[in-house]
Amino acid sequence: MNDTFTRVDNSGGSVHAGQGDVYNITYTTSHFNHQQTAGRSPRRIADDQLRLLRQRFVDPEGMGEARRLLAEHSTVILDGPPGSGRTAAARVLLYELHQSTGIFRELLPGDHEEVALTDTGLVGAGDRLLLDLAEADVQRWARTHRDLSALRKAVQEQQAHLVVVMPHDGTLESDLQLYRAKISHPPAQEVFRRHLRLHHVPHEEYLQPAPAFADFLDDRRSMEEIADFADRVRRARTAHRPPDDFAGWCEQARDARKTWRQEVAGLVAERREAPQRALLFTTAMLHGAHADVIHHATALLLRTLKTPRDNAHLLEGKDLSERLTEITASAGPDGHVRFDKLGFDTAVRVHFWDHMPDLRPLLSAWTDRTAELADRHLTADRRRELVQRLADQYLRTGKWRELAALADVWGTTTTNPARPAAAIHVLSRGLESKQYGGNFRELIYTWCRDKQLAGDLADVLLRVCTDVIAPTYPDQAMVRLHHLARRERGATPALDALCDLVATSSRLRRRMLDRLTRHSSAPGADAGLFLRICDPVPLTDPGGSPRALMDENYVQGCVTTGWREVFAQLPQPRWQPYARRWLHTASDAGDRRDLLLDLLVDAADRDGTHLAALYSVARAAEPTTSGGAARGVDTTDRLLQKISAAQGLRPPATPPRPEPPRGTTP
């Protein structure tokens, strides 16, 4: 707990969210700079994800009824068959609300970090809540849906909205049947065409007959399968392989559903020379990259494997085109290399990973070194894809701990800026995993709290907390950022990110004040953080809430406790600017002026030194009061009356006071 870090930079990022439940988060980065994304709040990221999902969404039957129930009752319980896009529908319903207050959150009942569904502090004003229980078993559904009535009541009181996705075969109590909306699969062809339009396929192309797509639809397909088929059509169109028309692309997309395992196994058995197999694996890992990248990365793989170099004269050896033909690949007109069969690259990656396990550490080292190659054709997107393809093999085979260890190594070294970016991609992939996302959130919690933050690891953790965890699980991100902020010395990027996060929700600010004052395990560190979180302006601004946080007795208690710790733990120069802002706010707070002053005086706890310091700060703040110096003088006089009362003194007279010498501060 004693190690610290002094800077966190970051990279810009974009988010792609497709039909269904899968969200892929992309970081395009060559170096970190925290200020580049300072204005990109977790709420904005969440809304961007939901907006992109809405663009790909086709309303299923029953969506209109779901909208009506949500509008009238603030709650809707979605019921639909698996594959109908239930979770996507839930997210779209919440996105369409466009609330000016509150945040989007996914609830995790039963998680040790989450409060109970019956907790009165669970719901914030205007929150948009998703409770996804589509995959819940009978016991979990029974435990959870008993608490839905209490949760729904809190949602109504806070003018929030709740969408519950229930198990398809689950039972629902009679008092909740009113809020149930049944949805079915949307028209498959319309879903397919919506995705093609978003892939920029002209309508005159996809309106052509395509028997392969009709064959594909003969079986009932899930929304995710249809989205995947559309993406394969896009890739076939990009590859320009014959037959180069819509019907041909659909044929290739259909054939790509094959695993190609036997074909790959046969090809590997036939190509026994190391250079051939190196080219095969490199093409699979960098599929779609420029031929120059493939060439250099293949040579790098051979060096990584310490394969003897072929000393044949360069003019006598096979050129790259011939070597690619040997592995059923070629470079297109744009110079980018792809296999002739769609989906073949996935099968090659699986084969090498599964059947050559001794090579895994070396393949990971090669991925690291390849991501660092200085090649103008190796774009940030290609580097990201390379790292994600490696991460997918770890996750597919249940090696999430080994993947996390790899992120640790890449995040704690600063030899190349590509490494921390790769660590971000790895951790993001893990967090996105349905199977292992919870494991990665727990791991990141432990790292933020206890791990030695060497190299760029603090930068990496900051990015995944703010850009990956916070948009969906803001409470968990807040806790992790709190631990990071406690350990900062010098620059405060984690604290800045924490302040940005709590600014999105009054509920988060209340919970953060509670952590800093009522349940603090590090009072000295938390006193400094308190000064930033306890900003009087948002505390006195109700926004879209029925009342301001400062009007709550519990928050007033947190504020008094926090300022008391500030006076006890920090020197006056540290807290003086924040006290000045507090007094300026009090001057403009109208009916709340006395309350703000009382909290400061109560926090001083009759300590003459602290009370004198407060008075001195108030005197110095008078000329810069927004309402003019006269208003500042009036606030100072009122503060002096409260100080005298706290000390048991008679209210003082207010004789004319000389102005302090120009240019001096107390």
302-335 pLDDT, tens per residue?
999 988 776 655 566 789 999 999 999 999 889 9
Task: Report yes or no: 477 and 470 within 8 Å, Cβ to Cβ.
Answer: yes
Cβ atoms of 446 and 465 closer than 8 Å? no
Where helices occur in 433-505 by DSSP H, the ranges are 437-450, 457-464, 474-486, 493-502
Confidence (pLDDT) at 650: 66
Share of the chain above pLDDT 90, in %: 72
pLDDT at residue 521, rounded to an integer: 86
Quickly state the pLDDT bin for 32 (edges 50, 70, 90).
Answer: very low
Has residue 663 got a pLDDT over 80? no
Q: Which residue in this structure is represented by tokens 């809190």?
A: 154
Write down the mean pLDDT value for the chain.
88
Amino acid sitting at position 468: V
- Please give the DSSP secondary-structure letter assigned to residue 39: T
Q: pLDDT tens digits, residue range 506-523?
A: 999 999 999 999 888 888
- Mean local confidence (pLDDT), 463-479: 96
Q: Which pLDDT value is given to residue 102?
A: 87
Q: For residue 502, is pLDDT > 90? A: yes
Handedness of CA 622, 623, 626, 627 (dihedral sign): positive
Check pLDDT > 70 for residue 406: yes
End-to-end CA distance of the chain: 35
What's the CATH code, domain 59-182?
A: 3.40.50.300
Secondary structure (H, E, C), 556-608: HHHHHHHHHHHHHHCCHHHHHHHHHHHHHHHHCCHHHHHHHHHHHHHHHCCCH
**Mean local confidence (pLDDT), 528-535:** 96
Q: What confidence category does residue 120 fall into, taking pLDDT thresholds of 50, 70 and 90? A: confident
Specify the residue for token string 């920029």: 200
The predicted pLDDT at position 313 comes to 55
Q: Mean per-residue pLDDT for 451-479?
A: 95
Q: In this structure, what DSSP letter does residue 380 have?
A: H
| Better-scored residue on pLDDT, 244 or 501 | 501
The Cα–Cα gap between 397 and 535 comes to: 48
Position 18 scores a pLDDT of 36
Mean predicted confidence (pLDDT) in 70-95: 95
Contact (CB, 8 A) for 127 and 160: yes
Domains of the chain, residue spans: 59-182, 188-255, 265-340+343-372, 506-666
Query: Residue 540 in contact with residue 550, Cβ under 8 Å?
Result: yes
d(C-alpha 432, C-alpha 27), whole Å: 14
**CB of 56 closer than 8 Å to CB of 227:** yes
Tokens of residue 260, six digits: 């190609």
At 666 the pLDDT is 32
Strands (DSSP E) found in 256-400: 329-331, 337-339
